[in-house]
Copies of this chain bind each other. A is one copy, B any other.
Amino acid sequence: MIERVRELLEQVAGGDLAPAAALEQLRHFPLEDVGLARIDHHRSLRQGQPEILLASHKTVDQVVLIAERMAVAHGSFLATRTTADQAEALCARFPGARWNELGRTVWLAGPEPVAELGRIAIVTAGTSDLPVAEEAAVVAESMGASVARVADVGVAGLHRLLAARAEFGQSDVIIVVAGMEGALPSVVAGLVSQPVIAVPTSVGYGASFGGLAALLAMLNSCAQGVTVVNIDNGFGAATAAIRILGSSRPGGR
């Protein structure tokens, strides 16, 4: 299949095939079957972005195997939620891959840069929320966004948050990451008019119930137009932000 994809792309590059037509054909290609996982190369091909591999619940061997097929298919991959063992095995196999330990990601960037889509601010309430924010940041960057990190601006110290407001004004989308009482997205959304994506984290203890408190708070936000993703789901927030950035580019869809 890879050959057929290449041919197609060469036709496109040579002007023999309109991009829209090529894309249409790609949508109907058969799927490559990698033993266990059916990889969907289409998605990534559409936007020059890496195929993404959720490493949790998988063995080291499965992770390396799937990454290899992804790398063969189009020269890049991004693994999220990697354990140290998985990350080390991936970096040994792909010397060009970069391991982000805090964000638990391993990224093999493709040979060509991804399209620039826009700017995302990723805001965290506390130091302990950083791993989730970092996951979001790497995913967003691997897909073509530039990322501004705004850390440790919890609502109990409002002056810190207000000081960071300038940063918000320069971003197209704002991702707000918070555990405990999850109040930060409501306050941020009251200050800006851009899309705000809230990510509850499992930071907390006792009646935080593994992030449930923050999740419910964000779903009940009194600020208009806050949307929410799963607990600790930095990946989901980043891909939602990418959908928004992609949607707003000229000819974005």
- Interface of A toward B, CB cutoff 8 Å: 30-31, 36-38, 40, 43, 46-47, 52, 56-58, 62, 125-128, 130, 151-160, 162-163, 169, 172-173, 180-183, 186-187, 189-197, 200, 202-233, 235-237, 239-244, 246-248, 252-253
Contact = CB atoms under 8 A, between A and B. Distances in A.
Q: Which 8 A-B pairs have the closest CB atoms?
A: A248-B248, A206-B231, A183-B183, A227-B227, A225-B239, A57-B128, A156-B190, A213-B216
B193 A46 contact: yes
A190 B243 CA distance: 12
A181 B182 contact: yes
Contacts of A153: 38
Given A172-B247, A227-B227, A183 B155 contact: yes
B183 A186 contact: yes
Contact of A213 (B210, B219, B232): B219
Given A206-B202, A216-B213, A181 B186 contact: yes
A178 B153 CA distance: 22
6 contacts: A169-B253, A193-B247, A193-B253, A205-B233, A224-B235, A227-B227
Contacts of A247: 172-173, 193-195, 244, 248
Contact of A224 (B156, B215, B219, B223): B156
Contact of A217 (B191, B217, B239, B252): B217
Nearest to A236: B225
B231 A151 contact: no
B207 A212 contact: yes
A28 to B, nearest CB: 8
A35 to B, nearest CB: 9
B158 A158 contact: yes
